[in-house]
Chains A and B, each alone.
Chain A
Amino acid sequence: MKRVFTAIPYLWLLGLFLVPFLIVLKISLSDAAIAIPPYMPTLDLSEGWAGLTSFLSELDMENFVFLTEDDLYWKAYLSSLKIAVLSTLLTLAVGLPIAYGMARAPEDWRPTLMMLVILPFWTSFLIRVYAWMGILSNEGLLNQLLISIGLISDPLVILNTNTAVYIGIVYTYLPFMILPIYASLERMDPSLLEAAEDLGCSRLTAFWIVTLPLARPGVIAGCFLVFIPAMGEFVIPSLLGGSSTLMIGKVLWEEFFSNRDWPVAGAVAIILLLILIVPIVLFQRQQAKAEAGH
């Protein structure tokens, strides 16, 4: 029975995860063609060995060279990286005080607070992004509010700018930041803080030298959980961002659906993955270390 339990999911993942990935790799090395499917060469196994060698000899790195020559792609990678890093830091700045407050709340409040953080995660991601469209638009609620209290006289242009993208990422990924930090702070012993204060630390210093080091594993996990998906994000830049918002997930989508240049889309995907492999491996190593620590 153990064999069966291993073999079925194994075969499934080989067929629907590994093989598709190899196909992307292969297509990224092919050339675009006006044909169905729109790329060449295609592997013809009926020709046997000769077919395989001629297939392999026609693969090349041309698409990757193309990506380095056209600065649209470099700019898109760099701007995704910038947006992902900055919004991760912003999410940390918003999430840390909330997680800290939750960990200091009376014990019987905590399950409710936890539920309140998890609930938005279960509602549709798309809807949570959409909610900001009505708030941030020129005639939106935020501008109405700011004008009515007299803070501004002309509406601020926020929707369809990078600012809206940052707000969207912080909002939708906030639970992924709060929960791991809360998990590492929850077990913290309050007497540690009291001891620090007794020894003459101000409350702020105590937070800095006692709480933050304890929160570190949660902070690291939270940052990875926000950064990795934010880097390849598609929905947020296409709904909240403007035409000047360059993010690689959007570029890949357009390359595939609008330009129908599959080989370039494949190459864009492979490079995105190469960029993400470092944080993914670091994250898995950190998780393994945290598990071993328990």
Chain B
Amino acid sequence: MTRLTPFNIVSLTLGFAFLYIPMLVLVVYSFNSSKLVTVWAGFSTKWYGELFRNEAFLEAAWVTVKVGFFSSTLATILGTMAAYTLVRRARFPGRTLFSGMIYAPLVMPEVITGLSLLLLFIAIGLDRGVLTIVLAHTTFSMCYVSVVVSSRLVTFNQSLEEAALDLGCTPFEAFRAVTLPIILPAVAAGWLLAFTLSLDDLVIASFTAGPSATTLPIKVFSSVRLGVSPEINALSTIIIGLVTIGVVTASLVSKRAISRRAAEERAAET
């Protein structure tokens, strides 16, 4: 289907304009020297300076990165194990419950997940802070990781693992030497997804964070509730910039990998 009709061109143009104009507006107005975010008063980078002098924001950013790193690493380990179980073990007691618990958090409204975890932490008397946010984030993001990893696990041939076992590997050695390298791209993608989900989460973090730990989304939310602020525009621009660099690099790398594989296949055929 390579015939673009005028209708297609119009809908693509309008569609992408709709997706990108609001973000562009944020970026442009972050360089506005006026405090009034709707009046353009000349180019300035002063809001970036203000942002980096704002200790509360910096501290919240640090907490967010810490939580993101620990929760996504834990989620990747647990999620990979869960994916292995889902794909490689057809039958064990409680399998239905297990797969239900993997898929349910993906569609569970955040307010319910947050509320239920908070009630658990209170019931067992765990003080709310960085630890409880990490536990909460790990729980929902391990489910995303296991979906990503299991989609890779189903496509590869189990006989490779069996060969390793026949050659005298222990099951764990076979997993480490054969399975893990093959699923590694999916594991890495899962980690990245878990990390992003953790950085982005407001609702679950608000329920599970204590006064001692505030994440960046909580901070941003309480500040934008009062209205638009140029500092938040500057922060948004930094985030949009980082994500753009990350996504563009990732797609260039995967494009190169695909064309290299195609070239290798052509070379193998001749």
A284 to B106, CA, bound (A): 11
Asked whether, in the complex, the Cβ of A101 is within 8 Å of the Cβ of B101, the reply is: no
B interface, CB within 8 angstroms of A: 1-5, 7-9, 11-12, 15-16, 18-20, 22-23, 25-26, 29, 37-38, 78-79, 81-82, 84-85, 88-89, 92, 94, 98, 101-105, 107-112, 115-117, 119-120, 122-123, 135-136, 138-139, 142, 146, 170-172, 175, 196, 199-200, 202-203, 207, 217, 220-221, 224-225, 227-228, 232-233, 236, 239-240, 243-244, 246-248, 251, 255
Asked whether, in the complex, the Cβ of A256 is within 8 Å of the Cβ of B236, the reply is: no
Chain B interface mostly: helix
Q: Knowing that A24-B115, A98-B11 are A-B contacts, what are 20 other residue pairs whose CB atoms are under 8 Å apart, sorted by A's residue number?
A: A1-B172, A9-B79, A20-B117, A101-B8, A101-B11, A101-B12, A104-B8, A111-B255, A112-B251, A118-B247, A124-B217, A128-B22, A229-B110, A252-B112, A253-B111, A265-B115, A269-B111, A273-B109, A276-B107, A283-B107
Asked whether, in the complex, the Cβ of A126 is within 8 Å of the Cβ of B202, the reply is: yes
User: Could you show 14 A-B contacts with beta carbons less than 8 Å apart?
Assistant: A2-B171, A6-B85, A6-B89, A14-B101, A101-B11, A116-B20, A124-B217, A127-B26, A128-B23, A174-B19, A193-B1, A234-B110, A272-B112, A280-B107
A interface, CB within 8 angstroms of B: 1-2, 4-6, 8-10, 12-14, 16-21, 23-24, 27, 37, 94-95, 97-98, 100-107, 111-113, 115-120, 122-128, 130-135, 137, 139-141, 144, 171, 174, 178, 188, 190, 193, 203, 228-229, 231-232, 234-235, 238-239, 249, 252-253, 256, 262, 265-266, 269, 272-273, 276, 280, 283-284
Asked whether, in the complex, the Cβ of B2 is within 8 Å of the Cβ of A105, the reply is: yes
Asked whether, in the complex, the Cβ of B203 is within 8 Å of the Cβ of A234, the reply is: yes
Asked whether, in the complex, the Cβ of B38 is within 8 Å of the Cβ of A273, the reply is: no
Asked whether, in the complex, the Cβ of B82 is within 8 Å of the Cβ of A16, the reply is: no
Enumerate chain B residues within 8 angstroms of A141, measured Cβ to Cβ.
25, 38
Enumerate chain A residues within 8 angstroms of B251, measured Cβ to Cβ.
111-112, 115
> B142: shortest Cβ distance to chain A, in Å?
7
> A106: shortest Cβ distance to chain B, in Å?
5
Closest Cβ neighbor of B29 among chain A residues: A134
**Given A2-B89, A105-B2, CB of A20 within 8 Å of CB of B120:** yes
**Given A137-B38, A174-B19, CB of A17 within 8 Å of CB of B101:** yes
> A19: shortest Cβ distance to chain B, in Å?
6
Enumerate chain A residues within 8 angstroms of B142, measured Cβ to Cβ.
9, 12
Asked whether, in the complex, the Cβ of A105 is within 8 Å of the Cβ of B105, the reply is: no
Asked whether, in the complex, the Cβ of B139 is within 8 Å of the Cβ of A13, the reply is: yes
Asked whether, in the complex, the Cβ of A124 is within 8 Å of the Cβ of B89, the reply is: no
Asked whether, in the complex, the Cβ of B2 is within 8 Å of the Cβ of A266, the reply is: no
**Given A126-B200, A135-B25, CB of A9 within 8 Å of CB of B116:** no
Enumerate chain B residues within 8 angstroms of A18, measured Cβ to Cβ.
101
Asked whether, in the complex, the Cβ of A229 is within 8 Å of the Cβ of B227, the reply is: no
- Among B11, B119, B142, residue most surrounded by chain A Cβ atoms (within 10 Å): B119
Enumerate chain A residues within 8 angstroms of B78, measured Cβ to Cβ.
8-9, 12
> B91: shortest Cβ distance to chain A, in Å?
11
Asked whether, in the complex, the Cβ of B236 is within 8 Å of the Cβ of A239, the reply is: no
Closest Cβ neighbor of A238 among chain B residues: B225
Enumerate chain A residues within 8 angstroms of B239, measured Cβ to Cβ.
123-124, 127
Asked whether, in the complex, the Cβ of A16 is within 8 Å of the Cβ of B2, the reply is: no
Contact partner of A134 among B1, B20, B92, B228, CB < 8 A? B228
**Given A5-B85, A8-B81, A104-B3, CB of A262 within 8 Å of CB of B224:** no
A258 to B64, CA, bound (A): 25
Closest Cβ neighbor of B103 among chain A residues: A284
Asked whether, in the complex, the Cβ of A122 is within 8 Å of the Cβ of B247, the reply is: yes
Asked whether, in the complex, the Cβ of B109 is within 8 Å of the Cβ of A272, the reply is: yes
Asked whether, in the complex, the Cβ of A19 is within 8 Å of the Cβ of B38, the reply is: no
Enumerate chain B residues within 8 angstroms of A144, measured Cβ to Cβ.
38
> A239: shortest Cβ distance to chain B, in Å?
7
Enumerate chain B residues within 8 angstroms of A107, measured Cβ to Cβ.
2
Contact partner of A100 among B11, B22, B102, CB < 8 A? B11
**Given A16-B135, A126-B217, A130-B236, CB of A234 within 8 Å of CB of B111:** yes
Closest Cβ neighbor of A9 among chain B residues: B82
Asked whether, in the complex, the Cβ of B88 is within 8 Å of the Cβ of A23, the reply is: no
> B213: shortest Cβ distance to chain A, in Å?
17
Enumerate chain B residues within 8 angstroms of A27, measured Cβ to Cβ.
119
A280 to B103, CA, bound (A): 10
Asked whether, in the complex, the Cβ of B2 is within 8 Å of the Cβ of A102, the reply is: no
Asked whether, in the complex, the Cβ of A276 is within 8 Å of the Cβ of B202, the reply is: no
Q: Which 9 A-B pairs have the closest CB atoms?
A: A232-B109, A97-B11, A20-B116, A98-B15, A131-B22, A101-B8, A9-B82, A20-B120, A1-B171
Enumerate chain A residues within 8 angstroms of B255, measured Cβ to Cβ.
111
Closest Cβ neighbor of B2 among chain A residues: A106
Asked whether, in the complex, the Cβ of A17 is within 8 Å of the Cβ of B115, the reply is: no
**Given A101-B4, A127-B236, A190-B2, CB of A23 within 8 Å of CB of B120:** yes
A269 to B203, CA, bound (A): 14
> B15: shortest Cβ distance to chain A, in Å?
4
> A139: shortest Cβ distance to chain B, in Å?
5
Enumerate chain B residues within 8 angstroms of A256, measured Cβ to Cβ.
115, 207
Enumerate chain A residues within 8 angstroms of B110, measured Cβ to Cβ.
229, 232, 234, 249
